[in-house]
Structure 1
């Protein structure tokens, strides 16, 4: 039987802290969430490898470092209301939930929604809600948000997300075409409504599919 606590600590130290992401709140969140519970049993032994892994519905759980980089760039604080687009397994939402006040994680695959909801209930993440819908349209009934993060790559930042973001809020998402070079991008909404954009690093994600994304 794998010693998951030991593997988790090694992941935090080698894959996250050693790469310069050393915010104590961030590291504590990754130490608290059992990644092995967010993949199928056949992949549990590989849960702390420095790579993405397959999950249900033909999707993936992102490499731990990329999840950490996204959360760190978004500058999530205690009390923040966060929208995550592309909930997938629910792992990133669970980590964010250890830092933020409230997380709404939207997912378009019905199978993944059901599995992620069960995990949140079983593991006690009461401040994380998994909802089903077109994430490219955001979640207007719960807007505005302090932070919006996405685990799928679009050609642009959807206007609905900008509209649903508080002044001073941050969007972190990959931008680029499927099967081509993509960049993780941070967009900050200035008090006057203008946007400040920063490119962080090259990445590779599944496409963002929906009304303001790529066709399914």
Structure 2
């Protein structure tokens, strides 16, 4: 496989047609080498327009890497700035954290699966990304120890957005999440516009595996 041609094809045929037109984001997809974050046995598919299962040492963790166009579109719409602190929930391969880290001051990435925490952290170290801290834990309701954050990225879907998570955004902060139940999910950017106000921008319909332990309201509570 001609890796650079495959990368170019990914950007020009998948990502740019998905309204990812911010040149700084497109340039970043050349800088952060996606194939170095994919499980070795799947590297031939690193640039394919599909989700990739995260298999560690031949064992399926049940988690996936998002399709490249989804990662790129969310990154563009978040508009991360160089002074900002990012919380990512769901380290996975470490790729999304690496993309965010190139734009942010720092990234805190939370992973509930120890195998993935180790895998993602190793990928980040090998790629020379020094401003990401990976922690093992359950981030389904955010990570209040370091809150508030300028940006929050949820790397698994949520049936609804819990108030406890939104409360960890700074005023002016943005959260990227895929919300709903399969097959009807919507990628959203939520901006905290005041202490009590939030603005939601729907981006596109998609479907993504749910975050482990994702909060769901009690259907019997009135």
Whether the 8 Å contact between 2:158 and 2:214 is mirrored in structure 1 is no
Residue 60 (str. 1) matches residue 100 (str. 2): no
| Matches for 1:81-160 after TM superposition, within 5 Å | 81-160=85-164
CA deviation digits over 1:5-59, x for unaligned, max 9? 2221221222222332111221121111111111222210110011111112121
Match of 2:58 in 1: none
Whether the 8 Å contact between 1:134 and 1:211 is mirrored in structure 2 is no
Q: Which runs of 5+ in 2 are unaligned?
A: 56-60, 218-222
Match of 1:3 in 2: 2
| Matches for 1:196-207 after TM superposition, within 5 Å | 196-207=199-210
CA positional deviation for 1:211: 6.3
Match of 2:73 in 1: 69
Match of 1:47 in 2: 46
Whether the 8 Å contact between 2:159 and 2:214 is mirrored in structure 1 is no
The CA RMSD measured in Å over matched residues stands at 1.6
Question: What SS does structure 1 have at the residue aligned with 2:104?
Answer: coil
TM-score, structure 1 as length reference: 0.92
CA deviation digits over 1:84-126, x for unaligned, max 9? 1111111111111111111111111110001111111111100
Q: Which runs of 5+ in 1 are unaligned?
A: none
Question: What SS does structure 2 have at the residue aligned with 1:135?
Answer: coil
Structure with greater proportional helix content: 1
CA deviation digits over 1:106-147, x for unaligned, max 9? 111110001111111111100112211111121222211111
- Rounded Cα–Cα distance in structure 2 between residues aligned with 1:198 and 1:76: 16
**Greater shift in the superposed pair: 5-14 or 131-140:** 5-14
Relative to structure 1, is the Cα distance of residues 123 and 163 closer, same or farther in structure 2, using a 3 angstrom cutoff? same
Structure with greater proportional strand content: 2
* Matched pairs, number: 212
Match of 2:83 in 1: 79
Whether the 8 Å contact between 1:156 and 1:175 is mirrored in structure 2 is yes
- Rounded Cα–Cα distance in structure 1 between residues aligned with 2:214 and 2:191: 23
TM-score, structure 2 as length reference: 0.90
Question: What SS does structure 2 have at the residue aligned with 1:87?
Answer: coil
- Rounded Cα–Cα distance in structure 2 between residues aligned with 1:191 and 1:54: 38
